[in-house]
Structure 1
Amino acid sequence: MRDKGRGGRRSRSRQAFYAVASDAKPAVAASGSRGAMAERPEDLNLPNAVITRIMKEALPDGVNISKEARSAISRAASVFVLYATSCANNFAMKGKRKTLNAADVLSAMEEMEFQRFVVPLKESLEAYRREQKGKKGASELKKKDKDQKGDAEDPEKNRGDENEEEDERMEEEEQNEEEGEEADS
């Protein structure tokens, strides 16, 4: 069986897809400890309750889903996640990194020929980052207010807190710059 889309040769990620799809030895378990091998193919399946909820949200009210359909969609979703992870891992390895990042996932979507999802995924990622930044800001304000009330008598401690906050800001800026450089390459 050959993939004609790329000159008759399969890419590594497509090979991983076919290996997973044919129930060859499974790679890494989706649940459980990180890096542990799956003992059974079922260990790689996504939770049925989550899959069922997503399916029901996507369908109009009153549509029933058979057990076989839920099982098939669950397996397809698991295979998709494994395939996308394998593709993203290839990009991380090319960058000599062990950690997958958002840029790797977006690149994997393009390699898997899901370009139409890249823009919505980028928008979701930006919304997530804004939300996290808002949460972090609110948490810092709350902490700052608490510290100011409790430590008004200790000016030395307040200077230490300011230095820690400056260090955190610098680390966050460096991380944002690194992500920007990785996305550009």
Structure 2
Amino acid sequence: MRQAGTYSGILTGGISRRTGPHSLPLARIKKIMKRSGDDVKMISGEAPIVFSKACELFIEELTQRSWMITMQGKRRTLHKEDVASAIVATDIFDFLVNLVLESQQQQQVDGASARYGFIYN
């Protein structure tokens, strides 16, 4: 397997900018990987690098789709509602739909509680 170079360049709008060895912290990714299951004891050196790149691509795709929704709304600021709309509107993000719906329901409950003066701990 080919290792990432000293810097991975990301092409943005025709301009390549250097982001360092990895945009996401490999130690944090490795910690999440180990926490994901009791049977995970050892992780090869390449695995966090691959996960880091996969996460970067996932974030890039979700951001692009969210930005298209922002532009359709004739706005220049990306809001969490745009991200939620992109998740609901895109088939490849179906695994996140339940998370978005739960978050929206919780916001409705929190809003109603605040309106009526209820405080939950």
How many equivalent pairs are there?
103
Q: How does 1:82-101 map to 2 (within 5 A)?
A: 82-101=60-79
Match of 1:73 in 2: 51
Structure 2 residues without counterparts, runs of 5 or longer: 1-7
Match of 1:15 in 2: none
Higher helix share: 1
- Percent identical pairs in the alignment equals 31
Please tell me the residue identity of whatever aligns with 2:101: K
Structure 1 moving runs of 4+ over 6 Å: none
Q: 1:116 aligns with which of 95, 101, 115?
A: 95
* SS of residue in 1 equivalent to 2:11: coil
**RMSD over aligned Cα atoms:** 3.2
Deviation track 1:111-160 (CA, whole Å, cap 9, x = no partner) reads 25222311223324554784xx98xx9xxxxxxxxxxxxxxxxxxxxxxx
TM-score scaled by length of structure 2: 0.65
Match of 2:3 in 1: none
- Give the structure with higher Rg (CA): 1
Q: How does 1:157-176 map to 2 (within 5 A)?
A: none
Higher strand share: 2
Structure 1 residues without counterparts, runs of 5 or longer: 1-22, 29-36, 138-185
Q: Structure 1's 43 and 92: CA in aligned 2 closer, same or farther, altered over 3 A?
A: farther
Deviation, structure 1 residue 106? 1.7
Match of 1:10 in 2: none
CA distance in 2, matches of 1:117, 1:104: 14
TM-score scaled by length of structure 1: 0.45
CA distance in 2, matches of 1:42, 1:125: 36
Q: Structure 1's 71 and 43: CA in aligned 2 closer, same or farther, altered over 3 A?
A: closer
Match of 1:156 in 2: none
